[in-house]
Amino acid sequence: MSEREKQILEAIQSNGQRYIEDARQRFNDATLDFCPYCYQSIDTDYKASLAESINRVLNKDTDQHTDELKSIVLPDYTAKYDEYRSLDPKLVNSIHELLVQCSAHVSTYVELIQKKISNIYTPISKDSLNLYQLIEELNVHLAELEIKRQEFMKTVLENDALKKILLELNDQIAYKTIIPLYQDFLTQQAAKNDAEQSSLKAHEKYQKITKKLEILERSKSNTQIATNSINDALNYIFFSQGRLSITLENNTYRLKSNGKNVLPKNVSQGERNIIALCYFFTQILANKDISQLYNSEQLIVIDDPVSSFDFENKVGIMSFLRLQFNRILLGHEKSKIILMSHDLATIFDMQKIAEEIQKASKKEGATAKIDFFCSELREGAMHSWKKRIKENEYTNLLMNVYSYAISVTGDDSLIIGNTMRRVFRSVLDIYIQKGY
């Protein structure tokens, strides 16, 4: 070795190995043109010579030896066996003491290896730490612990089998104990299901009865509304409050005349006709919302609304008919009314009513346009009939009386008496109008 190489070796042996390794790395850098330690310029040849000297001391053999030292792997003795302490506490404590000693010796060896790596040319001597003997003793203790563990697991497995047997016996005992209770439970459950079915049927019956009561209550309410409507119509026709009225008492209709109960047979035929007429117009509006009473299409057919019995209430009846016809015809454009009568005076009055309703339909905002026409039944056929003056009623009535007088069959025998009475009344009206 040259003097410089001897100096490098002495520096390594004097704990300066890391500085030499650092210098080798720096001086092998081709771009370096000054000394990194004295900061003086350095030529290429001197740098190469210095690098060669370092590489001769720190050669491949030293690098290989360093790698071998770094590759040494020592076991880890930090494991714990506390979970086995219940098997043998003393044994586990001994194992833990040996682990501590082994771990301490391993740490010592690791420190020595690191020291050797840092001083590759310095020999390191150390008396034996007896790690091998400690490991042997530790293995003996671990083998003894394993035997105890296996014995414990065998006991556990035996206990599991015994536990399984005991559980089966417990199930059998529980079955014997519970079976009467379970059978009673099934009986109670069946009774509960029957009770629920009975309750459901009773509830359904209750619902039906409740619904029926609601219907009856609504019917009762509707009946009262209908009664009020009929009474309003009667007051309108008679121009009198309570002349005739109907009341509902204990779900029974009562007819009253001036506030006193009367039997229907004890009122006049004309009054019975008026009650029937009022009932008719109330009935056609049944089961309708009050705001939609006249908004639906209707076909009304009336035969002789004013009979001879109703003569004294004729004005009230005609006024009532005008009110109802006006509501019906103006309520829906497709509503129709057919009125039939043997009484010319009634026809004349209805013509006048139709004309008034027609004029009302032509006013701005009306929803229906009213048309009307009259027909007369003659000789088994319908013929167009034009409006006649009031006095023609007397002429027609007189012709009917004359035709009956010369007739052989007497087909008008049922109405001739009433016709003759009306002739006399017409004559009286003409005389009154003439001032006689």
> Is pLDDT of 136 > 90?
yes
pLDDT value for 390:
47
Tokens of 57: 């001391």
Residue 417, Cβ density class (10 Å: 0-12 exposed, 13-18 middle, ≥19 buried): exposed
Domain ranges of the chain: 3-88+103-118
What would the pLDDT profile of 262-282 be if each residue is shown by its tens digit? 998 888 888 888 888 888 888
Q: What is the mean pLDDT of residues 376-396?
A: 69
pTM above the 0.85 mark? no
What's the rounded Cα separation, in Å, for the pair 7 and 304?
A: 155
Query: 104: closest CA among 142, 78, 127?
Result: 78
Q: Is 10 helix (H, G, I), strand (E, B) or coil?
A: helix
Q: What is the mean pLDDT of residues 184-190?
A: 91
- At residue 381, φ and ψ (nearest 5 deg) are -140, 155
Residue 196 φ/ψ region, left for φ over 0, alpha for ψ in the -120 to 50 degree band, beta for the rest: alpha
For helices 269-283 and 131-238, the axis angle rounded to 10 degrees is: 150
Is 168:160 a contact under the CB 8 Å cutoff? no
Q: Is 213 helix (H, G, I), strand (E, B) or coil?
A: helix
Which amino acid appears at position 66 of this protein?
A: T
pLDDT value for 389:
43
Q: Which residues have CB under 8 Å from 190's CB, separation 6+? A: none
What's the rounded Cα separation, in Å, for the pair 134 and 94?
A: 11
What's the rounded Cα separation, in Å, for the pair 340 and 374?
A: 10
Query: 305: closest CA among 284, 324, 328?
Result: 324
Q: What is the mean pLDDT of residues 378-392?
A: 68
What would the pLDDT profile of 66-124 be if each residue is shown by its tens digit? 888 888 888 888 888 999 999 999 999 999 999 999 999 999 999 998 888 887 777 88
Q: Which residues have CB under 8 Å from 119's CB, separation 6+? A: 12, 13, 15, 17
What would the pLDDT profile of 210-259 be if each residue is shown by its tens digit? 888 776 665 555 566 678 888 888 888 888 888 899 887 777 788 998 88
Pairing mode, if any, of strands 299-303 and 336-340?
Answer: parallel
What would the pLDDT profile of 287-335 be if each residue is shown by its tens digit? 665 556 678 888 999 988 887 666 678 888 888 999 999 888 888 888 8
